[in-house]
Amino acid sequence: MQAVAEFQDAADRLDEGAAAKLGVNRTDLRCLGVLVRSGRATAGELAMAAGLSPGAATTAVDRLVAAGYARRAHDPHDRRRVIVQPTPTARKRSAEIWGPLGQESFRRLSGRTAAELQTIRTFLEEGRRLQLAHADRIRGERG
């Protein structure tokens, strides 16, 4: 558990630095990460993926649009539906920040066996589900 906590602290420091470098807050950074990974999302999908209320997601999108990191576009199949997409600037800045980490991670993981990689993946997936379940538990205990 000590190693997991230290890993989370390091990831938190990385995110804090990235948010500062991009000039956004942590919520906006989380939304931007979802958009860069997915390529596009409705405000509702973004809210769900980032663990936000629809109103909070809309506010984050407003800030990302103002910062030049996101844009809104009408869905070509349903003009009433709005799609949020990362801008080329967002993709470029994300690659500058996280690209070196991804490259080094790939280099380090490429020396692992398929069984080791599967164990790591299983650990990360189980950890993600555990974290989200406890985030929901904590939210439910508010008030």
β-strand pairing of 70-75 with 78-86: antiparallel
Residue 142: per-residue pLDDT? 62
Return the structure tokens found at 77.
């199949």
- Per-residue b or e along 85-94, where b marks 16 or more CB atoms closer than 10 Å to that residue's CB: bbbeebeebb
Write down the number of H helices and E strands in the chain.
6, 2
Domains in the chain and their CATH numbers?
2-111 (1.10.10.10)
Tens of pLDDT, residue by residue over 83-114, are 999 999 999 999 999 999 999 999 999 999 99
The span from the CA of 130 to the CA of 132, in Å, is 6
Residue 23: phi and psi, rounded to 5, are 75, 35
Tens of pLDDT, residue by residue over 10-37, are 999 999 999 999 999 999 999 999 999 9
Closest of 52, 61, 54, 58 to residue 24, by C-alpha: 61
The span from the CA of 102 to the CA of 105, in Å, is 5
pTM comes to 0.87
